[in-house]
Structure 1
Amino acid sequence: MRVGLTLYGSLDERSGGFRYDRKLVEGLRAAGDTVEVVELQWRAYPRGLLDNASPSLRDRLRVDVDVMLQDELAHPSLVLANRGLPYPIVSVVHHLRASEPRRLSPLYRAVERRYLATVDGVVCNSGATRDAVAALGVDPDETVVAPPAGDRFDPAIDGDAVAARAASLGEIGEESGAGDGASVADPAPAPLRVAFVGNVEPRKGLDTLVEGVSRADAAVDLTVVGRPVDESHVADVRRLVGERGLGDRVRFAGRLSDDALADVLRESHVLAVPSRYEGFGIVYLEGMSFGLPAIASRAGGANETVTDGETGVLVDPDDPAAVARALDEFAADPDRTAEMGRAARRRYERHPGWTESTGRVRRLLADVADAGDGVDAIDTEVAT
């Protein structure tokens, strides 16, 4: 097949959605398909809607393919432009903007409903995403669920390594100096080491996590790994860290290389990303590859990976008290933390790989392309 992929930005971006698109392209090419990538400029929402009146955009989109994949995040620039394109379209939905708790969600819902009416099929990364798409009028028979693999690192972690890491929670640290040669009489147990991984923006719930750390009875060291996307939110979180007296407990590491991020995950006890919404949440699966139980949100598709009480803990969005309870439970019971870590690793090992997910997408693309050929043939007969 001759396949296209239209998306905002560059296919080389490092976030989970871009990795999904990139692995999909690699899989299609490995299967013998040609893939032409159309990279559009990132747009603010209103500016993206104005793109639909641009003749130059329509010219860029008129490529010679049998079927076009579109990353749904680019829908503002495509909602009207799609109607004049000469090929069938399959949208890749990581999560709908309308699913996020935003002030303008009704507007996003209306625009996304109209955009989805222009496509011939939808690739969803989770069952929750498929349900959200169906709620906007898409026939479930025109969708396929193709979850991302979590094999970004695929470390060699066994049950013994997971147990040894959890056992460090019960270890007593070295006595620290208290001035004038004195020492602390009762040094505290080693802290619970928690990793947050994700773009630093309101949806990811870092503010909820920091507040949960401040309310926990246990000592918690939090490492924040991720690109600061919303500078105002970053400033709010840093201010919260200061107000709660957590300056020596929260470290902002910024964006890290894969090797450096792997080191953080390997040394952590828990991955905590209590998002306000996740279409899938590939980060939870990547943490599970290291045997890390997760603290994740009930909102969206995280519960398809994180089983509450087995591979992690699910909390409601904006519930720092629940986050604090989860942190205290992990810190207080190393054996339970180890068992959940082993279960998390087993969950990772049985998750579908990219080959299986790409195969599901290819079958949908072939069906849509074949149906499009049939429509073209009918149109030709009518015209003659």
Structure 2
Amino acid sequence: MRVGLTLYGDLTDRSGGFRYDRQLVAGLRRAGDTVEVVELPWRDYGRGLLDNGSRALRRRLDVDVDVMLQDELAHPSLVRTNRHLSYPVVSVVHHLRASEPRPLSPLYGAVERRYLDTVDGVVCNSTTTQSVVTDLGVDAASTVVAPPAGDRLDPDIDPTRIDSRAHAGPLRLVFVGNIERRKGLDTLVDGLAAADAETELTVVGRPVDERYAQSVRSRVHEAGLDDRVAFAGRLSDDALASTLEDGHAIAVPSRYEGFGIVYLEGMSFGLAALASRAGGASDVVTGGETGVLVDPDDPAAVAAAIETLAADRDGLAAMGRAARRRYEAQPDWDETTARVRGLLADVAGADPEVVA
């Protein structure tokens, strides 16, 4: 098949959604498809909506493909533009903007509903994302759940290492993600401050909202946590692997995650996960088995989870072993690509024997 991919920004970006798109492109090419990538400039929401009157954008999207994948993040520029395209479209939904707790969520929901009306199929990264998409009127038969593999680091972990680490030193939490409000770092810091447990936190990630990042740093200082919270910034894969190898739990109590590939990456090291119930984390994290699920914006629940993990080291070790097993059971990128190719073939009317 001749496949296109339209997205905002640069496909080489290191965030989870871009890694998913990049792996999908690589998998389609390995399977024999040609893939043309169309990278659009980043837009704020209002400027993106104005793109729909742009003839230059339509010319940019006038490519010779059987079917076009679109990263749903770029929906503001495509909500009306799609009606002028000559090929079928399949949207890749990591999570809908309307699912995030924002003041303008009703507006985003209305626009995303109209955008989804223009596509012929939807790739969802989790069952939660699929439910949200179908709630907006998309026929479930035109969707496929194709979760990420989370094997970017893919360490070789000895189970005895998980056990010995669980019983060593203070509880070591690792937060990995962009420093922005949605990721819930403020909730994690407030929970850490309230917890009656010897705990350390390493924050890995770049600030994408400088004002929010500064407010979190102020929280850390005001709570007297400067010697227990380290801001490591963005790390190389090797440095991140070393940080996770030394941790006890991957802790990202997001306000919303469509999937949360970071949980799988932490679990690959045998780390228990401290995650939010909001969104798709429950596809990966089972409360009481592979980690702890808390409600978003609930520092008291985070504090209680920290105290439990710190006090019950046998339980922490058992969660770590279960987390590693859950990671090993996750579909690999070849299976994810195969699920997406099946939907693309249906939408494009390709010969199933050619796609198989």
Alignment TM-score, normalising by the size of structure 2: 0.98
Please give the secondary structure, in 2, of the residue aligned with 1:12. Answer: coil
Deviations 1:276-330 (A, max 9, x none): 0000000000001000000000001100100000000000000011111111111
Instruction: Name the CA distance, whole Å, in 1 between partners of 2:136 and 2:330.
Output: 28
Runs of 4+ in 1 over 3 A off after TM superposition: none
Q: How does 1:354-373 map to 2 (within 5 A)?
A: 354-370=333-349
The question of 1:350 aligning with 2:329 is answered: yes
The question of 1:310 aligning with 2:315 is answered: no
Instruction: Name the CA distance, whole Å, in 2 between partners of 1:251 and 1:59.
Output: 48
Instruction: Name the CA distance, whole Å, in 1 between partners of 2:118 and 2:158.
Output: 47
The question of 1:250 aligning with 2:229 is answered: yes
Partner of 1:203: 182
Partner of 2:89: 89
Q: How does 1:235-384 map to 2 (within 5 A)?
A: 235-370=214-349
Partner of 1:133: 133
Instruction: Name the CA distance, whole Å, in 1 between partners of 2:118 and 2:312.
Output: 52
- Aligned partner letter, 1:202: R
Alignment TM-score, normalising by the size of structure 1: 0.91
Deviations 1:186-238 (A, max 9, x none): xxxx3211100000000000000000000011011100001101111001101
Unaligned 5+ segments in structure 1 are: 169-189, 372-384
Q: 1:224 aligns with which of 203, 207, 210?
A: 203
Instruction: Name the CA distance, whole Å, in 1 between partners of 2:65 and 2:163.
Output: 51
The question of 1:80 aligning with 2:80 is answered: yes
Partner of 2:54: 54
| 1:159 Cα deviation after fit | 1.3
Instruction: Name the CA distance, whole Å, in 1 between partners of 2:242 and 2:207.
Output: 21
- Aligned partner letter, 2:121: G
Partner of 1:379: none
Instruction: Name the CA distance, whole Å, in 1 between partners of 2:264 and 2:160.
Output: 20
| 1:158 Cα deviation after fit | 2.2
Please give the secondary structure, in 2, of the residue aligned with 1:221. Answer: strand
Please give the secondary structure, in 2, of the residue aligned with 1:154. Answer: coil
Please give the secondary structure, in 2, of the residue aligned with 1:242. Answer: helix
Instruction: Name the CA distance, whole Å, in 1 between partners of 2:215 and 2:44.
Output: 22
| 1:333 Cα deviation after fit | 1.3
Instruction: Name the CA distance, whole Å, in 2 between partners of 1:138 and 1:272.
Output: 33
Please give the secondary structure, in 1, of the residue aligned with 2:147. Answer: coil
Task: Point out the structure with max Rg over C-alpha.
Answer: 1
The question of 1:212 aligning with 2:191 is answered: yes
Report sequence identity in percent: 73
Deviations 1:1-31 (A, max 9, x none): 0000000001000000000000000000000
Partner of 1:376: none
